[in-house]
Each structure stands twice: as C-alpha cells, then as structure tokens.
Structure 1
Amino acid sequence: MELSPFVDIGWLKSHREQVVVADVRWYLDGSSGAQAYRRGHIPGAVFVDLDRWLSGESGPRGLNPLPTPDVFAQGMGSLGIGDDSTVIAYDDAGGVIAARLVWMLRALGKSSALLDGGISSWGGPLETSVPQPSVAQFSATAWPASMLASADDVDQFPGLVVDARNPERFNGSLQVPSDPQPGHIPGAVNVPCRRNLDAAGQLLPATQVRENFYRADVTDATATISYCGSGVTACHNLLVMEHLGMGRGRLYPGGWSHYAALENRIAEL
C-alpha cells in the first residue's frame, strides 16, 4: 500500500483491518511509554518500545543510534509486522516520537505513515487489553547509506543542516542533561518540528508548514540533513518535508548528543 507519510483518522478507520496500528509513546524525562499504553491505547494497537527496538545502545554513537538490522527485524516480527505489512504509527506528541518508526520503515521501502493528531484523534473508547500478535517474517535489511549522514558528512555538507529541536536548545539558552554542550552544529538552521503542529497535535495547513521551512531557506529536502538531540524528532521534519512534496532528506542519527561530544567540535550559539 503506497502511502503519504501522514494519514488522518478517517483513513485509518476505513482501512483498520488492512493495517497494523503501532503505539510509539516515549518520553525524554524517562516516563514509561509502556505504562501509558497499558492505561489506554487505540484498539488493537501494538506497543513499540523505542529503546528496545528502534534504538541501539547509547554511547559513542549518541543517545538513540539506529539499532542493528537484526534487532529491528526481530522487534517488528515479534509485533506481527511483516515485510508486506502497512503500519500506521501514533503517539501523544503530535507524531514527533512515532516518526522514528515511520521513517525507519519507509527508509527500507515499507508501507508506513503517521496518524495525524495521534491518539487524541481516535475519538472513541480506548483499550487496555494487550493484543498477542502472531510472529511475522520481517527481513533484516541494511540501513540505506544514501539516507544517512555522519558527523563528517555534516561538516562537509554543501546543503542545509536542519535542527529540529526547540529554539531554546538550538540557541543554547537551555541545556538539557542529554546535551554535551549548549548550542547547535555550526551553520545549522532551526526548523522546530513542533511548530509544524497545532495545539491538538495535528499538522498545520500546508501553506503554514511550508513557511516554517521557507523562513530557514529550506525549499528542497534532497539538499538537507536533518538532526535533533538523538535522531528521533528529526525524523518528523523529514516526513513533513516529504509530505509537502519537497523530496527526501538524510538523517543524522547521532544528532547533537553525538556531535557535541566529539573532540574538536565546538558549538555555535
């Protein structure tokens, strides 16, 4: 099923039996996404543990490096997501977290999209029972190098490096514990992914979202590298640009948690 990176709740309800719904709630403050899921989720949704299945071990590669293809394949298969599945993912943060799963699947050529508006768009009763999906066949496939960037790529990139974090982290006025130093990659521009959303967590009209990127001179995603703190919310900007017809950019998975910890990398404020 060929999909735009975003679908609305009407689309999901009309295709519910044809897709796997994935709950990808996760919180930077350490709160449990699994507990939030057990308190109530979209009926039939499976819980995707970002730390276990969508990230490798934190360390020299940053806080949330991409998992190995084998780990990702194991996780997807265990949740009933197969090579031919269509996955609709959501969270309670306007999609900025669930975007990680959607980007990963789409990077591998799989059918996946974000539910615009997330869990709040469901509008009906939530479910507390946990489904037991049958194990599916999901092939381990190498992450496509053409869609990824390293720290050296960032330093030498002739296009635009786009930071998806909030302005206060970008300009260094706020340093969270995961930031090795305050500020941003020298020369980067700031397009905060959360400014693509309205108060309900739904995408703003396309003209307004484009303006968020145009203000930073971002008009062509193919000439961009997207990053954030650790390669999670950066995926949202990549999906939004694709949704707007701007093409597909590259992800720097290490993000600021990797770049700012490297020797001889000095932040810009």
Structure 2
Amino acid sequence: MRSGLISVDELRASLEEVTLLDVRYRMGGPAGPAEYVAGHVPGAAYVDLDRDLAAEPGERGRHPLPDVAVFEAAMRRVGVRAARPVVVYDDWSGHAAARAWWLLRYHGHADVRVLDGGWTDWRAAGGEVATGDGAPRVAGDFTAAPGALPVVDATTVRAAGVLVDARATERYRGDVEPIDPVAGHVPGAVNVPTGRNLDERGRFRDPASLAATYAEVGAVPGADVAVYCGSGVTAAHDVLALELAGITAALYPGSWSEWVADPSRPVATSARP
C-alpha cells in the first residue's frame, strides 16, 4: 500500500476497517448525488464537493476552502473519526478525491487514502455495488485543526522556489480559457498537468516516474514547491503525486480564479514561465 493511495484489492480486504467516502464530481458532468444513489461502493457515504469541500465562490476563487466548522460538521455527518482510516474515491481520475484527501490531511487527519483507479477500477474488478441513499451512520468525532499541510496565498505564491500550474497546457499558455475571465498563468509558474500523474490505466504512476516528471521542472525533495490550478481543486492531485514522489508541496487554494479576480496582478502567457 503506497502512502496516500489504496488499491481495489486492498480496499476489498479492509472495507470494514475504514470510513469510505464517495466524492464523485465532474465539472459539467453527471450529478454526483444521483450517481451515488444509482450505485456506490458498499458502506460509502456521499460527500458533495461544492457543499462540503468548498465555500461559496467569490473573491477567494471558485472553490475557496470551506469554513472550518462547516467542514468539520460535514465530516462528522459522514462518520469520519480521528482514529479510523479514511478512503476517498471518485470517477474523475482522482481529482475530486484528491481534494477530499488534501482537506482531511490539512485539517489534521493522519490516515487518508485515495482509491487508485477509483469507481472505474472498482467496477472493472467486479466490486460489489450498493444502491440507494446509503445506510444511516453513526456520527463521527473528527475535530478539524487546520494547518497540518502547507498553503500559500495570493501574497506569497510567487515566492515559492518552484510554482507548479496543474492545469492543461493550453490553459497554462493562455491559448484558451474556458472558465475564468482571464487566460494565462502566474508569472514564473511551470506547467505539470494532472494528466501526467497517471498511467494509461488511469492510476497514479510509480513514485520513481513521478519524481522524474517533477524533477524536469525543478520540483525535487527539499525544494520549496507550491501548486495551483483553476480553482484549487485539481491542484491537490499534483500535491498528492508530489507526496508519492517524496516531495512536500504547498497548495494555493484560491488558485487562478482568485489570482485574476484582482486586475492588478500580473499575468503571463505562452509556454515560457
């Protein structure tokens, strides 16, 4: 079992020993709650990314960090306990699951893992499927204590030794911008799209391969690394990949959507940092 990840076989063997969270969410895709009711891993509780894992959009970006009390209440509602391991999964290549992984870790939970391959691999492996709203669950006892993982904000993000932009390359270059009002990237940032974290099966690549990918942009063990994306969600995917590679990285939660909310902040375009 790799730190931060759990395989389908490992999850099958430990279903009774973990708190399992279904975090299915795709921007513009099918509604997660309906997908959960139609079928989920037995024992999983549904967590809504917009409601439970983010605050209302605004000047802090499209998916600001949730209020601590809101996040704590949401995690208790789905049964998260401080002394019990948590496993999170989605059907979006781990992007939403990585957001839940990061938030739980950031708020002090020590044992959180993403199901490698997610719902797709669970189904492909013949995993049992439950339907409906899920069984009632005992409230958890998790106490959220933010600060266990590093973060940067709009005033400190450019001070990072290596600033990684996790968005698709065409968005990084400023060729297109389908969501936010301004195209481009934070000056000085380098680009490692989240797709480079995965192999052809949609699972995270091995630590040595991930380390080699991030070394290309100077993100190596001991370096001062920070990561951002469009709204702070998919950047957690790069933070997880970096952790698998043995590299600690700070997250910029507001990310590009917060950065461009202030027109005085500089913007770079083209493939150059």
- Matched pairs, number: 264
- Which stretch has the larger CA shift, 129-138 or 222-231? 129-138
Amino acid at match of 2:265: R
Whether the 8 Å CA contact 2:207–2:244 is kept in 1: the answer is no
Counterparts of 2:165 and 2:141 in 1: how far apart (Å)?
35
5 Å-filtered alignment, 1:99-248, equals 99-110=98-109, 111-122=111-122, 123=125, 124-129=127-132, 130-141=134-145, 143-144=146-147, 147-155=150-158, 157-177=159-179, 179-220=180-221, 223-246=224-247, 248=248
Counterparts of 1:61 and 1:101 in 2: how far apart (Å)?
19
Whether the 8 Å CA contact 1:162–1:225 is kept in 2: the answer is yes
Following superposition, the deviation at residue 120 of structure 1 comes to: 1.6
Whether the 8 Å CA contact 2:174–2:183 is kept in 1: the answer is yes
Report Cα offsets for 1:51-91 as digits up to 9, x if no partner: 11110111010010111110001000111112222110111
Following superposition, the deviation at residue 263 of structure 1 comes to: 2.8
3-state DSSP class of the match of 1:256? Answer: helix
Q: TM-score, normalised by structure 2?
A: 0.91
Q: Percent identity?
A: 38
5 Å-filtered alignment, 1:6-45, equals 6-29=5-28, 31-45=30-44
Counterparts of 1:60 and 1:71 in 2: how far apart (Å)?
19
Whether the 8 Å CA contact 2:105–2:148 is kept in 1: the answer is no
Following superposition, the deviation at residue 198 of structure 1 comes to: 2.1
Amino acid at match of 2:14: H
Whether the 8 Å CA contact 2:184–2:267 is kept in 1: the answer is yes
Report Cα offsets for 1:145-189 as digits up to 9, x if no partner: 86111111013x141111111111111112112x12001100000
Counterparts of 2:9 and 2:43 in 1: how far apart (Å)?
17
Whether the 8 Å CA contact 1:93–1:201 is kept in 2: the answer is no
1:93 equivalenced with 2:92 (yes/no): yes
3-state DSSP class of the match of 1:162? Answer: strand
Counterparts of 1:75 and 1:120 in 2: how far apart (Å)?
25
3-state DSSP class of the match of 1:114? Answer: strand
Give the gaps of 5 or more residues in structure 1: none
Counterparts of 1:64 and 1:26 in 2: how far apart (Å)?
13
3-state DSSP class of the match of 2:95? Answer: coil
Amino acid at match of 1:203: F
| 1:73 aligned residue | 72
Amino acid at match of 1:136: G
Give the gaps of 5 or more residues in structure 2: none
Following superposition, the deviation at residue 222 of structure 1 comes to: 5.1
